[in-house]
Structure 1
């Protein structure tokens, strides 16, 4: 059997996340991989963004071809389909066998309530699939800001004692927290 590439796993996890999103009833949302043009937009910086995407694209880039795993979340009925609606940026380090959720932002939160409160859940759904397929028991969040840490601790993330730029959680714990938070939808992820 041929070895599956990180890009193929990324595509599979996006497909699986889209299936879960549909089962959750979020039928007006879809996830796709970030394309080169979108990555270039982020690397140039996003006007009116809360986060510094130019910094992020530099910080999380490495010599590995598949290191940055980007996801674009779109609201299917939104008037402007050419702009970025929301982005989730992850990184897989195959040398250290580490998966990190690096950055996420909803760029249309003021105009589009359909995404509110869902970007982190989508990021964690994708991330748990990725980690389970790769066989990782732990996942990380890199450079979390102080104001969003409580959101992450609600999914069992805690400070990494030897690296203060990261928080981590067992994938099984994150998955259990997701199940509890999504229980009202009668969905088992």
Structure 2
């Protein structure tokens, strides 16, 4: 995904979210480590949001929405872990995480993260496709304009003055050949 997103660390942030959820499922460390990891992922997403706000021309509304949703999910996980770690021992915390209710919730978070990842990929790919189509339309318009200009110049030949108009027509023909070789 890093190849198709405007920010290379989006893929890292999304991967970190999935890693967080997998780590919670396989909890073998203390709750403090899990809280630290959750807060770190939220920090990455906050940096991403700040970068997007600093450079608004490089992001789309849909992509921004996807990142915001992801940040909300990770923030909620972090808050849940903080609440649990204050009042519970490690063994009680593990029992809680192994309960069916929390497993279902973790599975739901995992699905949401995967959905957000897929949506981000789709949004970026669609945006890139639309940008390419727009550039292709612009190139086609320039080509048509050059052909029209060449025809007008050919039809309005001034009296021959030693080859100057012929050079202009030759240069225009060469430019048209160069632009027609563009994709």
Q: TM-score, normalised by structure 2?
A: 0.25
Q: RCO higher in 1 or 2 (8 Å CA, sep ≥ 6)?
A: 2
Q: Higher strand proportion, which one? A: 1
**TM-score of the pair, normalised by structure 1:** 0.24
Give 1 or 2: higher helix fraction. Answer: 2
| Larger-gyration structure (1/2) | 2
